[in-house]
């Protein structure tokens, strides 16, 4: 059937939000964004306060099939001046690309997806970008890269000539009620201090004058944007000085942070790791954490 690839119209907002939420919920249980959150991302991303100011153009395209928005994509063009870092200067990015997978009642949805991706590549070429990136960074927590739960997106990117990068990230999810708790410091003289960190509230383990470890956690509560995620938080940083590792410091810090989050009504915690780093072993061996998804990043078209 014919596919109409065109710019996004405001009247598409309900169908677009349904498309976003269906993909998000396949990655994170019960995750959803409001219509306002989706519309807001199309205009800008204030949370990306370093990278977003570098964006010089934004464009959202949809593919319509039989009066239904079957696929959609959001494109960014980054400026080419000296204020932009080398890795983004003059770059074009498919910030996200989504489509309804093939179904018995809709067997040709991939036709819409391929037509839309071809239009995206043509737009990036018209912009004259130096490099072409692709991702699935949705306006919800923990959905970015190309998660393993979205193989239809991976296949479409590959058909369009995009190649997976060498960056894999593992996301973990824990119910705070299942995490270990210990009020007794694992090392004699170890003190807990709470302060503002780089990525949320920091809980530091201090021994004398030395900070031997810290964890930073941040609530993901934004009722206006994410009405169903009032009970979520994530780990922004988790570090322990090498000489004090494997002595229970990280677990003790995690328990303190979890207790603090419970006071705020938080009951779910997301952690991040990359294969081969120490965080993988920590999350794998800490009761309560389970693998939520593995996502591949740095997709690029030569």
Q: What is the pLDDT of residues 39-97, one digit of tens each?
A: 999 999 988 999 999 999 999 999 999 999 999 999 999 999 999 999 999 999 999 99
Domain 4-163 falls under CATH 3.40.630.30: yes
Instruction: Please give the model's pTM, rounded to 2 decimal places.
Output: 0.92
Per-residue pLDDT at 223 exceeds 90:
no
> Mean per-residue pLDDT for 283-297?
96
> At 220, is the pLDDT very low, low, confident or very high (cuts 50, 70, 90)?
confident
CATH of 173-297, one of 1.10.1740.10, 3.40.630.30, 3.30.43.10, 3.30.830.10: 3.40.630.30
Evaluate whether 4-163 and 173-297 have a shared fold.
yes
> At 101, is the pLDDT very low, low, confident or very high (cuts 50, 70, 90)?
very high
pLDDT at site 31: 85
Nearest-angstrom CA–CA distance, 179 and 251: 9
Q: What is the pLDDT of residues 106-123, one digit of tens each?
A: 999 999 999 999 999 999
Percent of the chain with pLDDT over 90: 91
> At 155, is the pLDDT very low, low, confident or very high (cuts 50, 70, 90)?
very high
Domain locations in the chain as residue ranges: 4-163, 173-297
């Amino acid at each position: 059937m014919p596919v109409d690839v065109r710019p996004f119209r405001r009247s598409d907002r309900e169908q677009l939000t349904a498309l976003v939420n269906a993909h998000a919920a396949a990655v994170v249980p019960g995750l959803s964004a409001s219509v306002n959150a989706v519309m807001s991302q199309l205009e800008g991303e204030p949370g990306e306060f370093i990278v977003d100011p570098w964006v010089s153009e934004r464009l959202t395209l949809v593919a319509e099939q039989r009066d239904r928005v079957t696929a959609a994509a959001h494109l960014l063009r980054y400026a080419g001046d000296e204020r932009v870092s080398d890795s983004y200067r003059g770059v074009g990015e498919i910030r996200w690309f989504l489509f309804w997978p093939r179904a018995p009642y809709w067997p040709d949805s991939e036709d819409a997806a391929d037509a839309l991706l071809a239009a995206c590549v043509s737009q990036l070429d018209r912009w004259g970008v130096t490099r072409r990136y692709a991702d699935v960074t949705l306006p919800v927590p923990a959905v970015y890269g190309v998660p393993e739960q979205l193989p239809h997106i991976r296949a479409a990117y590959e058909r369009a000539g995009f190649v997976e990068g060498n960056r894999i990230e593992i996301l973990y999810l824990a119910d705070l009620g299942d995490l270990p708790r210990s009020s007794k410091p694992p090392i004699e003289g170890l003190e807990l201090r709470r302060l503002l960190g780089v990525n949320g509230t920091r809980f530091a383990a201090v021994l004398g004058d030395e900070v031997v470890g810290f964890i930073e956690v941040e609530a993901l509560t934004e009722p206006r944007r994410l009405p169903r995620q009032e009970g979520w938080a994530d780990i922004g940083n988790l570090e322990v000085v090498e000489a004090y590792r494997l002595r229970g410091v990280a677990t003790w810090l995690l328990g303190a942070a979890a207790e603090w989050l419970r006071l705020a009504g938080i009951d779910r915690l997301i952690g991040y790791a990359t294969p081969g780093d120490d965080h993988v072993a920590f999350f794998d061996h800490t009761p309560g954490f389970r693998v939520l998804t593995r996502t591949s990043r740095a997709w690029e078209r030569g």
